Amino acid sequence: MSAAPKRIHLSDYAPPEWLIDNVALTFDLHPQHTEVSARLQVRRNPACMKEGGNALPPLRLDGEALELVDVRIGEEERPLDARAHVVRDDALIITRPPAERFTLHTRVRINPAANTQLSGLYMSNGIYCTQCEAEGFRRITYWPDRPDVLSRFTVRIQADEKEVPVLLSNGNPVESGRMDDGRHYAVWQDPYPKPSYLFALVAGRLEALKDTFTTADGRTVDLAIWVEPGKAARARFALESLKKAMRWDEERFGRVYDLDVFNIVAVPDFNMGAMENKGLNIFNDRYILADENTATDRDYENIEAIIAHEYFHNWTGNRITCRDWFQLCLKEGLTVFRDQEFTSDVRSRAVKRIEDVRLLRSLQFPEDAGPLAHPVRPSSFGAIDNLYTVTVYEKGAEIVRMMHTLLGEAAFRKGMDVYFERFDGQAVTVEDFIAALSEGGGRDLSAFMRWYEQAGTPHVTMRRSHDDEGRLTLHLVQNNPKAQEAKPEKALPQPIPLRLALFDKEGKRLPLRPVGEGARHVTGAAGDILLLDSTALEITFDDVPRDAVVSLNRGFSAPIRLESDLDRDTLLFLLKHDDDAFNRWEAGQTLAVSAILDHLRGKTDDALSLIDAMAEALLPDLPRLANADPAFLAEIMKFPGVQDLAVHVGRDVDPEALHLSREAVMAHFARRLGESLPELFSQLAVTEPYAPTPEQCGRRAAQAVMLALFVQADAARGAALAMEVFRTARNMTETALALDALNLTQTPQRDEALAEFRERFGHEPLLLDKWLAWHARWTGEGCAARLWALTEDEAFTWRNPNRVRSLFGVFGMANPVRFHAADGSGYALLARAVRKVDALNPQTAARLAQAFGNWRVMEPQRRKKAEETLKGLAEDDALSADVRDIVERALSG
Ligand code: B3K
Ligand code: ZN
């Protein structure tokens, strides 16, 4: 059996004994044998030098899959004495460094063509490209591969001029020219010291879409997006998004770009979405390429958001980076917060918030409740690649958002200014960030460390009581079951900012007049935040009529599970009248959850009458919303998904039963809306030429929801309408929304439309992915068997992560009914795919395996099947460390 991965602990952190101020790299590119020469200027870290101590510690350089050709020392490049160094599988150790400062020269050979892991230097469809975060740089050259060693890089690339015309790396281009023998070279210099994980190199036959950007301080930056030849026109939207993001970061955060050039490259084979390498972002091409015939509105929105996210890393991640990988959330949580704010500013704030909360509830809450739960800043990890989770990213962003909520925008900005000023050019910790925010923001935020250090979603209960003097008291209690389960003595109350409003029964806002002891917990720039920072809290408000309505956790001000004593009529009132769009939506979700759970528990009449009341509350407002805010209309008509519902059920979950109740309730809702569904569908039609504007996207999103509901209400008529939409679609969004609706059915039209789609669009890889994903999301019986058959399709390849994720990633994460099939067939299918992918690409395989993270909440029969499958995997000798880490945690937690 392969060894269990060694756990790394935050408490073992020690600063690097040696620093590398400058490095010069030369790449002589050949597909099977690239040679990398490195000249390192090494220096003792003064922080580690003890007074009087003169013995020099060894210099350890990480290495993986490198063939060492040569190692030399000193300016004069003397061969290094065999006794002065040790070469191991995972390291080159200079056992006897000659001095406190010296130069080291290494030469290694690597094989990019054979690199199927897509970590280090590899080839994607003939293009050389790199991925170094977190630990890929050690697969390129020997190096102290940790984020707290920051160096100035000079990179020279040499390659065949015809085969490899474009040569790119980080920083600014400084020189290029011809060599003899048909080769050419380019030299790039990055003036900003950076950790190795931000290194990048791209070389190949590429075409660019170019533009310029003038920064707030008047400098011109050359922008280019590089894509495979013939695809440049499809990068237009990405380029526009980049300029928008650059301007936004100047305006909202005062952050100006700092190099002469900014390059982005799109490649088809990539382990994740994109990578923020300094001055040279590398993207999965699905997040660059778009035109109306190949991309949906959602694709456009993703492109805009991911371009922004990677760009924003230039300051939060690159200029200020992480001291160690435990601090990953320092750059990721903060940068997700920043990209969420960008999208909120350029699109709809309320809709963005709803989408983010939906993501939290469907993926992060289940993760935080299951065996793979971990704190946003973990104290140990087994495999670094598995730390890139929804918890680190999305919950990490929620913590920043809570601090923003508490401080208000102006004070938050001051805190960020202190952060940028104080830590520019350094590798820092979450504590450093909180200290800067506290100081600049003028409020002690140190209690938020508890959010970073404790796993689990806090549960908050809210009860109301009234007295005879017109006072309302809110009784708040918090409890974090997961943190309790992990270390009861260490589970501490977390600071929970709850935004509050009170309404009279006409829907008019009442002023908040806190009185007594609890009043000091009412805070925030607008005085509408209740800060629940102890286990229990009571807050009393004066002058509140008995029938006043409470709206709490507005805008989802804290990522918690809230259980309140608000009754059905109050929730219906909020669904109609809350002036916080998020909480209006939230009231609908709460009602929908209780209707579906009632239905599941056999209380069908209660469920259906609740749905009747919801339909009645919403119906009169639908035509207005369709005109005024179609994107919000789309959200308010969507029901919570099975994964979210499963969190509410908590244990002994039967996803199929949940799915059936959900469908029944939705069908009832849809029938109550009756003819207004097709009417709204027509009312929402976009007649203007296609543009991915918030307005048009909103209309089409609402159309998608109407069509899906119509299909639920009346399969025959719905499928007929969907087929007509499919046939007359004028862009990919319309095609896809028709297929989304058909894919909810088991009708012949579904099969027909899918076959036709394949015929018309199957030659385009990104569209093939959509086609595969429809199969993966289908809840019909034959789903699992069909998915395996699709891997035999000539267009499918196990080597491309997009293909693999479209089938098995979607299946595991977005098809709970079939993945958790009672007979275990879904588990078996996924395990089979994990094994197959693991042999080529462990990172991608481990990501697929994360679907097993919520098996413990299933009912006994499924639980047994899942456990058997996981145990089978665990016994597999060939498993990679990445997959083993997931499997063992899933079994043990
Ligand atoms: N920082 C990268 C993610 C790297 C994942 C490494 N396994 C993209 C991002 O979050 O912006
Ligand atoms: Zn990121």
The answer, yes or no, to whether any atom of ligand 1 lies below 6 A from the CB of 272, is yes
Contact 300, 237 (CB under 8 A): yes
- Output the residue whose Cα is nearest ligand 1's atom 10: 332
Taking only the tens place, the pLDDT of each residue in 65-84 is: 999 999 999 999 999 999 99
The answer, yes or no, to whether any atom of ligand 1 lies below 6 A from the CB of 394, is no
- Output the residue whose Cα is nearest ligand 1's atom 4: 133
The answer, yes or no, to whether any atom of ligand 1 lies below 6 A from the CB of 388, is yes
* Residue of 641, 526, 643 whose CA lies nearest to 592: 641
Q: How far is CA 225 from CA 128, 283, 432, 694, 888, in A?
A: 16, 10, 35, 24, 41
Whether residues 546 and 648 share a domain: the answer is no
Put simply, whether the predicted model's pTM sits higher than 0.85 gets the answer yes
The answer, yes or no, to whether any atom of ligand 1 lies below 6 A from the CB of 275, is yes
134 CA distance to ligand 1 centroid (A)? Answer: 8
Residue range 478-493: mean pLDDT, rounded: 90
Residue range 636-645: mean pLDDT, rounded: 97
Whether residues 803 and 839 share a domain: the answer is yes
345 CA distance to ligand 2 centroid (A)? Answer: 19
Residue 747 belongs to some domain of the structure:
no
Whether residues 295 and 355 share a domain: the answer is no
User: What does the alpha-carbon distance between residue 601 and residue 765 come to, in Å, rounded to a whole number?
Assistant: 44
Taking only the tens place, the pLDDT of each residue in 755-810 is: 999 999 999 999 999 999 999 999 999 999 999 999 999 999 999 999 999 999 99
- Output the residue whose Cα is nearest ligand 1's atom 2: 275
Nearest-atom index, ligand 1, CA of 385: 7
- Among candidate residues 176, 204, 232, the one where a domain is terminated: 204
- Output the residue whose Cα is nearest ligand 1's atom 9: 275
User: Can you say whether the dihedral through the CA atoms of 329, 330, 332, 337 is positive or negative?
Assistant: positive
Residue 379 belongs to some domain of the structure:
yes
Whether residues 106 and 193 share a domain: the answer is yes
The answer, yes or no, to whether any atom of ligand 1 lies below 6 A from the CB of 133, is yes
Report whether pLDDT(53) > 90.
Answer: no
Residue range 612-617: mean pLDDT, rounded: 97
SS3 458: coil
The CATH number of residue 540's host domain is: 2.60.40.1840
133 CA distance to ligand 2 centroid (A)? Answer: 11
The answer, yes or no, to whether any atom of ligand 1 lies below 6 A from the CB of 710, is no
688 Rama sector, left if φ>0, alpha if ψ -120 to 50, beta otherwise: beta
Number of domains within the chain? 6
Tell me the residue range of the domain where 640 lies.
566-713
483 CA distance to ligand 1 centroid (A)? Answer: 27
Whether residues 56 and 186 share a domain: the answer is yes
- Output the residue whose Cα is nearest ligand 1's atom 8: 275
The answer, yes or no, to whether any atom of ligand 1 lies below 6 A from the CB of 135, is no
Pocket test for ligand 1, best of 118, 275, 306 (most atoms within 8 A of CB): 275
The answer, yes or no, to whether any atom of ligand 1 lies below 6 A from the CB of 808, is no
The answer, yes or no, to whether any atom of ligand 1 lies below 6 A from the CB of 107, is no
Whether residues 95 and 197 share a domain: the answer is yes
Report whether pLDDT(490) > 90.
Answer: no
Query: Residue 307: nearest ligand to its CA?
Result: 1
Report whether pLDDT(143) > 60.
Answer: yes
The answer, yes or no, to whether any atom of ligand 1 lies below 6 A from the CB of 598, is no
- Among candidate residues 558, 590, 623, the one where a domain is terminated: 558
- Output the residue whose Cα is nearest ligand 1's atom 1: 275
Q: Active site residue: 133, 228, 276, 310, which one?
A: 310
Helix (H) or strand (E) run with residue 240 in it: helix 236-253
Report whether pLDDT(230) > 90.
Answer: yes
Contact 141, 36 (CB under 8 A): yes
The CATH number of residue 428's host domain is: 1.10.390.10
User: What does the alpha-carbon distance between residue 637 and residue 851 come to, in Å, rounded to a whole number?
Assistant: 27
Whether residues 445 and 370 share a domain: the answer is yes
- Most distant CA pair in the chain: distance in Å? 94
Structure confidence at residue 178 as a pLDDT band (50, 70, 90): very high
Residue 740 belongs to some domain of the structure:
no
The answer, yes or no, to whether any atom of ligand 1 lies below 6 A from the CB of 882, is no
The answer, yes or no, to whether any atom of ligand 1 lies below 6 A from the CB of 385, is yes
- 865's CB contacts (< 8 A; 6+ apart) are 822, 823, 824, 827
Residue 55 belongs to some domain of the structure:
yes
What is the amino acid identity at position 360?
A: L
- What is residue 3's predicted lDDT score, i.e. its pLDDT? 56
- What is residue 50's predicted lDDT score, i.e. its pLDDT? 84
Residue range 706-729: mean pLDDT, rounded: 97
Alpha helices in 378-429 (DSSP H): 390, 396-407, 409-423
- Output the residue whose Cα is nearest ligand 1's atom 7: 385
The answer, yes or no, to whether any atom of ligand 1 lies below 6 A from the CB of 847, is no
- Output the residue whose Cα is nearest ligand 1's atom 3: 275
- What is residue 778's predicted lDDT score, i.e. its pLDDT? 98
- Output the residue whose Cα is nearest ligand 1's atom 5: 133
Residue 310 designated active-site: yes
Question: Which tokens sit at 188?
Answer: 């790039």
Cα-flanking dihedrals φ and ψ of residue 762, to 5°? -60, -20
Annotate 343-356 with three-state secondary structure: HHHHCCHHHHHHHH
Residue 271 belongs to some domain of the structure:
yes
Whether residues 172 and 25 share a domain: the answer is yes
Pocket test for ligand 1, best of 334, 388, 847 (most atoms within 8 A of CB): 388
What is the amino acid identity at position 562?
A: L
Nearest-atom index, ligand 1, CA of 306: 11
Nearest-atom index, ligand 1, CA of 843: 7
User: What does the alpha-carbon distance between residue 728 and residue 737 come to, in Å, rounded to a whole number?
Assistant: 12
Residue range 390-416: mean pLDDT, rounded: 98
Whether residues 281 and 136 share a domain: the answer is no
* Number of neighbours of residue 753 by Cβ within 10 angstroms: 24
Residue range 549-570: mean pLDDT, rounded: 97
Residue 844 belongs to some domain of the structure:
yes
Question: Which tokens sit at 437?
Answer: 């925010």
199 CA distance to ligand 2 centroid (A)? Answer: 15
Nearest-atom index, ligand 1, CA of 271: 7
The answer, yes or no, to whether any atom of ligand 1 lies below 6 A from the CB of 231, is no
- Output the residue whose Cα is nearest ligand 1's atom 6: 133
Whether residues 214 and 68 share a domain: the answer is no
Nearest-atom index, ligand 1, CA of 133: 6
User: What does the alpha-carbon distance between residue 803 and residue 135 come to, in Å, rounded to a whole number?
Assistant: 24
81 CA distance to ligand 1 centroid (A)? Answer: 39
User: What does the alpha-carbon distance between residue 599 and residue 597 come to, in Å, rounded to a whole number?
Assistant: 5
Nearest-atom index, ligand 1, CA of 309: 11
Taking only the tens place, the pLDDT of each residue in 92-110 is: 999 999 999 999 999 999 9
Contact 458, 494 (CB under 8 A): yes
Residue 593 belongs to some domain of the structure:
yes
The answer, yes or no, to whether any atom of ligand 1 lies below 6 A from the CB of 334, is no
Structure confidence at residue 1 as a pLDDT band (50, 70, 90): very low
Nearest-atom index, ligand 1, CA of 393: 10
If you average pLDDT over every residue of the chain, what do you get?
97
Establish whether the linkage from the previous residue to 134 is cis, with ω within 30° of 0: yes
187 CA distance to ligand 1 centroid (A)? Answer: 26
Residue range 34-47: mean pLDDT, rounded: 98
Residue 30 belongs to some domain of the structure:
yes
* Residue of 427, 418, 431 whose CA lies nearest to 193: 427
* Residue of 764, 702, 708, 709 whose CA lies nearest to 732: 764
Report whether pLDDT(566) > 60.
Answer: yes
Nearest-atom index, ligand 1, CA of 332: 10
131 CA distance to ligand 2 centroid (A)? Answer: 14
Residue range 653-664: mean pLDDT, rounded: 98
* Number of neighbours of residue 606 by Cβ within 10 angstroms: 15
Helix (H) or strand (E) run with residue 344 in it: helix 328-346
Whether residues 583 and 660 share a domain: the answer is yes
834 CA distance to ligand 1 centroid (A)? Answer: 21
- Among candidate residues 314, 341, 367, the one where a domain is terminated: 314
Taking only the tens place, the pLDDT of each residue in 810-868 is: 999 999 999 999 999 999 999 999 999 999 999 999 999 999 999 999 999 999 999 99
Residue 163 sits at the vertex; the CA angle it makes with 157 and 165, to the nearest 5 degrees, is: 55
The answer, yes or no, to whether any atom of ligand 1 lies below 6 A from the CB of 325, is no
- What is residue 242's predicted lDDT score, i.e. its pLDDT? 99
- What is residue 269's predicted lDDT score, i.e. its pLDDT? 98
The answer, yes or no, to whether any atom of ligand 1 lies below 6 A from the CB of 585, is no
- What is residue 5's predicted lDDT score, i.e. its pLDDT? 62
The CATH number of residue 647's host domain is: 1.25.50.10
Whether residues 573 and 548 share a domain: the answer is no
* Residue of 265, 173, 283 whose CA lies nearest to 224: 265
- What is residue 488's predicted lDDT score, i.e. its pLDDT? 84
Structure confidence at residue 4 as a pLDDT band (50, 70, 90): low
Query: Residue 335: nearest ligand to its CA?
Result: 2
Contact 374, 455 (CB under 8 A): yes
Pocket test for ligand 1, best of 132, 133, 281 (most atoms within 8 A of CB): 133
User: What does the alpha-carbon distance between residue 377 and residue 449 come to, in Å, rounded to a whole number?
Assistant: 9
229 CA distance to ligand 2 centroid (A)? Answer: 28
